[in-house]
Amino acid sequence: MFRQPIEILLSLPAVFLAISFHEFAHAFVADKLGDDTPRKQGRLTLAPLAHVDWTGLILFALFGYGWAKPVQVNPSNFKNKKAGDILVSLSGPAANFLVAVLSLLVSVALMAINLSAPAMDTILLILNYCIYLNIIFGILNLIPIPPLDGYRVLKTLFFRSFTRIFVAYEKIGLFILFAFLLFGLFDLAVSRPALSVYQSFMTAGQRILQLLQ
């Protein structure tokens, strides 16, 4: 159940990147759309410490599941409240997929250069974690369970029509998340899709590498 120390150590850079870019994306898009709440709270930064929830980070290190400090947004400051709220919600997962793509490109570039530095294998392994964990973060946050981003999109679209359902759903949201963990449902909803996307990334990376060699 507990993760190996070396796995924790190698995955931490990927976790910090995933958290920082995810939360910064929320703050950046909200700021651009007219809400300065994240800026006032010091969240308009890529500095990991501004976004880390230490309890969530420790749990991730030990078990592979955790959370970051959520960015607070006031949709009333957006010109179009509904569209703005959806864009802010989707920006986090989008940022994670972008980091995964950039990590893949850096990894391919390093392999194409074919440096024989002693630390190269470790660097490539860390980049591999960056690819996979950002895919995991991106897919996980699209699940429509509170307090994840996918739920916020769903709530923004349909809250007025199904207010009572959403209020009741939010009360049991954390229990649903724990049920997903306890009964292995995240494997079906997140891990398997993430593995498929990861394998597609690796295949694309190999093709790019072949073209460069």
Residue 21: name the closest of 56, 73, 71 by CA: 71
Which H or E run contains 21? helix 5-32
The residue to which tokens 């995810």 are assigned? 22
9 pLDDT exceeds 90?
A: no
pTM of the model as a whole: 0.92
pLDDT tens profile 11-46: 889 999 999 999 999 999 999 999 999 999 999 999
Which of 136, 131, 111, 112 lies closest to 121 in space, CA to CA? 111
pLDDT at position 185 is 84
**Interval 98-138: pLDDT, tens:** 999 999 999 999 999 887 777 888 999 999 999 999 999 99
Q: How confident is the model at residue 2 (pLDDT cuts 50, 70, 90)?
A: low
Above 90 in pLDDT, residue 60? no
Three-class SS string for 113-146?
Answer: HCCCCCCHHHHHHHHHHHHHHHHHHHHHCCCCCC
Q: Is the confidence at residue 3, as pLDDT, over 80?
A: no
What is the set of active-site residues?
23
Question: In DSSP terms, which residues pair with 68 in a beta bridge?
Answer: 52
Residue 181, token pair as written in the block: 């963990």
